[in-house]
Amino acid sequence: MDNKEIHGNKTMNPKSPIYIAGHRGMAGSALKRKLESKGYTNIITRTHSELDLTNQQAVNNFFETERPEYVFLAAAKVGGILANSKYPADFIYENLMIEANVIHAAYSHGVKKLLFLGSSCIYPRLAPQPLKEEYLLTGELEVTNEAYAIAKIAGIRMCKHYNQQYGTNFISVMPTNLYGPNDNYDLETSHVMAALIRKFHEAKVINAPEVVVWGTGAPRREFLHVDDMADACVYLMENYDAADIGEFVNIGVGEDVTIRELAELIGELVGYSGEIVYDSTKPDGTPQKLLDVSRLHGRWEARISLRAGIKQAYEWYVINK
């Protein structure tokens, strides 16, 4: 990434029409908050009932009518180990359709810049740690979220090849595990952070003697507050082109914790005093997922600590559950 100034029509201005796909989700809503806080006034959104992103004609009609100049592609079907294992066909189909339709429409209708949000599950299950961008497609994927990962890899490569063939300016970012406001707290489909916050809160309310955590507690995970992610994405859209960042760039904090450490911290912050039990009959998933964030280091860094972020996320959950 060359830290070079960008000229011409590639820099967003406060009145640029900016489309956020998935604005109600955790990532999309954080992007909307960040853009609004920076004075962007022409933000375009559609709910799922207003625009089905898996419908190619509907997406084309939307781009034809609204003519966004910038696109943040944060819409996706997401979930944790349980959901990914149970509904792999849904995960690969819906995510492939969403990204194919939006990316192609962005090209067809002359979008100046698009940012595609990937996921750290794109990396091989046993890739060296920390995960460098060049490790993509160097080994087998984690079987429990393979369908989702393949869809996200396809999105990254789609951006790359459209840039290559058509001269588009589509950039991809790879955030680590996200958490924060508007997270999904459904135990069937949530990720580990939200699931544990809910489990510990409910155990505290009924004074349960124990909380059961899936797996051994040994896997290591990195967690990024969604507001930090949004800050990084807007920074990249404002300052870098596809040619500057290469195929994609990792966004993370550069530190991880074990699931056991995470559970203990959440228990402490929730105020739960019972026992934590680990169910080793349940899958652990990938042993470790720590991103190498050296490409952004010195240009952008996360600001919200894990303790402060969990405290804020828990307060949001209690108010909004």
How far CA 27 is from CA of 63, 116, 232, 309, 318, in Å, comes to 21, 11, 12, 15, 20
To the query of whether residue 148 is one of the catalytic residues in this protein, the response is yes
How far CA 228 is from CA of 101, 201, 233, 248, 282, in Å, comes to 28, 25, 9, 18, 31
175 is in an annotated binding site: yes
24 is in an annotated binding site: yes
| Whole-number pLDDT of residue 58 | 98
| Whole-number pLDDT of residue 1 | 52
193 is in an annotated binding site: no
Q: Count of CB atoms within 10 A of residue 5's CB? A: 7
118 is in an annotated binding site: yes
| Whole-number pLDDT of residue 198 | 97
290 is in an annotated binding site: no
199 is in an annotated binding site: yes
8-182+223-254+290-304 CATH: 3.40.50.720
- Its pTM stands at 0.92
Longest CA–CA separation in the chain, Å: 62
Classify strands 275-279 and 210-214 as parallel, antiparallel or unpaired: parallel
22 is in an annotated binding site: yes
What are the residue boundaries of the structural domains of the chain, listed by start? 8-182+223-254+290-304
Among candidate residues 40, 123, 148, 240, the one labeled active-site is: 148
Structure tokens at 120: 């750290």
Phi, psi of 209 (to 5 degrees): -70, -20
96 is in an annotated binding site: no
Identify the residue whose tokens are 């990024």. Answer: 224
| Whole-number pLDDT of residue 85 | 85
Structure tokens at 57: 């004609």
Per-position DSSP letters for 255-292, written without gaps between them: --EEHHHHHHHHHHHHT--SEEEEETTS---SSEE-B-
| pLDDT per residue rounded down to tens, the chain (321 residues) | 543 333 334 578 999 999 999 999 999 999 999 999 999 999 999 999 999 999 999 999 999 999 999 999 999 998 777 788 899 999 999 999 999 999 999 999 999 999 999 998 899 998 999 999 999 999 999 888 899 999 999 999 999 999 999 999 999 999 999 999 999 999 887 889 999 999 999 999 999 999 999 999 999 999 999 999 999 999 999 999 999 988 999 999 999 999 999 999 999 999 999 999 999 999 888 788 899 999 999 999 999 999 999 999 999 999 998
